Structure 1
């Protein structure tokens, strides 16, 4: 299986396990900049050189050797499950993607037909009941994760613990797992532990939110989208994420983690 979703700088200064919807565009650009002193021109997910990625065949032996030897500092970044799944809904389901089309072809028509989800019309700009549609989308997310139907779960809404686990199960070890909600603090700690060809001034780095503007703006506070049933579904789907990454399940309105991640606990529970 190897190390899917793993990126590494060409200088091998640092290794990063990508988790979608968790500041991955900004982190990738910081890694790229730390090697080359410039940002990638475009979405970093589209780069095919100057940054090692498991999806690039020539990068695989280098990443595998490094990770198995724990030759470089390795990290990842997580996000509150409530805001992460909301972001997935507005970006991937309601939004028009950068190729000018809907995400994954017939996915959105299937959601409209089978789950009664509304997305704001053909271009995503029309008015619709965001709360009702999101809760129906959450039923779909549960079905994909619990029963793998009507499709396999998508990387943007599958549990973060599953992404984190593949890295551990295949021989990787994390030195740091930090929070999107405390991005500067966490990313600075990573930079403090590594040596890079180019110095990174984190305060001067722009945020590369590649999904921003794809979909309609969220109109309500996070907690308004989650009633008792929605919270029950969130626990069924993402209980490991809440527990391992220390987020507040009881209060959807509290996006901040309750404590730091216990790396020993993560390696023990996800390394089976």
Structure 2
């Protein structure tokens, strides 16, 4: 099984389990900077050197060695499920990707035909009913996760607990899980616990939001996209995320966590 989605600095100072749509571009660039004193020129997801990634075959041995022996501090970052699924919709479904094409080729035409989803035209910039289309997308996301049809669930909207859990079930242990909503506080705590070749000044680090500008601008507050049925669907899909990472399932307007994450509980419930 190994440790899919796991990144590690080449200096082996810290291990990070990537969770899509949870500040992973910024975190990856911080890790890269901490080793090299400069940022990766481009989207950090495209890097093939300068950062160990499980997807790179030569990185698998060092990642396995460090994680199994817990020789480096290990962390991940999570996000409110309401804002995360909404971000996935605008980026991956409505947006044009950095390769100039739609995400996953024929996915969007399939959604338009099967679920009646609109995405703002060929360039994603046209006017459309964002709320109605998003709610239809939620039905699609639920279908992929619950019944694995019309396709397998995508990493950008599959549950965070699934991503976080593969690290645990393969033998890893987290030292810290923090929230994107309290990013500076959480990342500062991680950096406080590790020694890096180059010091990181968080106040000087830009936010690397690689999905920004891919799709249409969100026109409404987060809570406007979720009626009672939408909230029910989101809770059905992400119940474990809400419970483990302490988010408020009953109020989409409240993006902040409601309590502290219990790492022992995370390891116990995701380690099976």
TM-score between the two structures when normalised by the length of structure 1: 1.00
| Structure 2 CA distance for aligned equivalents of residues 60 and 199 of structure 1 | 26
- Report the equivalent of 1:36: 36
- The CA deviation at 1:217 is 0.6
- The CA deviation at 1:260 is 1.6
Q: Does 1:211 align with 2:206?
A: no
- Report the equivalent of 1:92: 92
Deviations 1:35-71 (A, max 9, x none): 0000000000000001000000000011011101000
| Structure 2 CA distance for aligned equivalents of residues 221 and 32 of structure 1 | 34
| Equivalenced residues, count | 272
What residue ranges of structure 2 are gaps of 5+ in the alignment? none
Deviations 1:136-183 (A, max 9, x none): 000000000000000000000000000000000000000000000000
| Structure 2 CA distance for aligned equivalents of residues 50 and 121 of structure 1 | 38
Question: Residues 35-74 of structure 1: matches in 2 within 5 Å?
Answer: 35-74=35-74
Q: Any idea what SS the aligned residue of 1:124 has?
A: coil
- Report the equivalent of 2:245: 245
Q: Any idea what SS the aligned residue of 2:7 has?
A: strand
Q: Does 1:165 align with 2:195?
A: no
Q: Any idea what SS the aligned residue of 2:136 has?
A: helix
- Report the equivalent of 1:181: 181
- The CA deviation at 1:259 is 1.1
Q: Any idea what SS the aligned residue of 2:181 has?
A: helix
| Structure 2 CA distance for aligned equivalents of residues 30 and 84 of structure 1 | 21
- Report the equivalent of 2:130: 130
**Runs ≥4 residues deviating over 2 A:** none
| Structure 1 CA distance for aligned equivalents of residues 185 and 259 of structure 2 | 14
- The CA deviation at 1:105 is 0.2
Q: Does 1:231 align with 2:231?
A: yes
Q: Any idea what SS the aligned residue of 2:232 has?
A: helix
- Report the equivalent of 1:6: 6
- Report the equivalent of 1:264: 264
- Report the equivalent of 1:254: 254
| Structure 2 CA distance for aligned equivalents of residues 52 and 137 of structure 1 | 34
Q: Any idea what SS the aligned residue of 1:218 has?
A: coil
Q: Any idea what SS the aligned residue of 2:111 has?
A: helix
TM-score between the two structures when normalised by the length of structure 2: 1.00
| Structure 2 CA distance for aligned equivalents of residues 251 and 146 of structure 1 | 23
| Structure 2 CA distance for aligned equivalents of residues 110 and 261 of structure 1 | 38
Q: Any idea what SS the aligned residue of 1:183 has?
A: helix
Deviations 1:211-256 (A, max 9, x none): 0000001000111100000011011100000000000001000000
- Report the equivalent of 2:198: 198
Deviations 1:169-206 (A, max 9, x none): 00000000000000000000000000000000000000
CA RMSD of aligned residues (A): 0.3
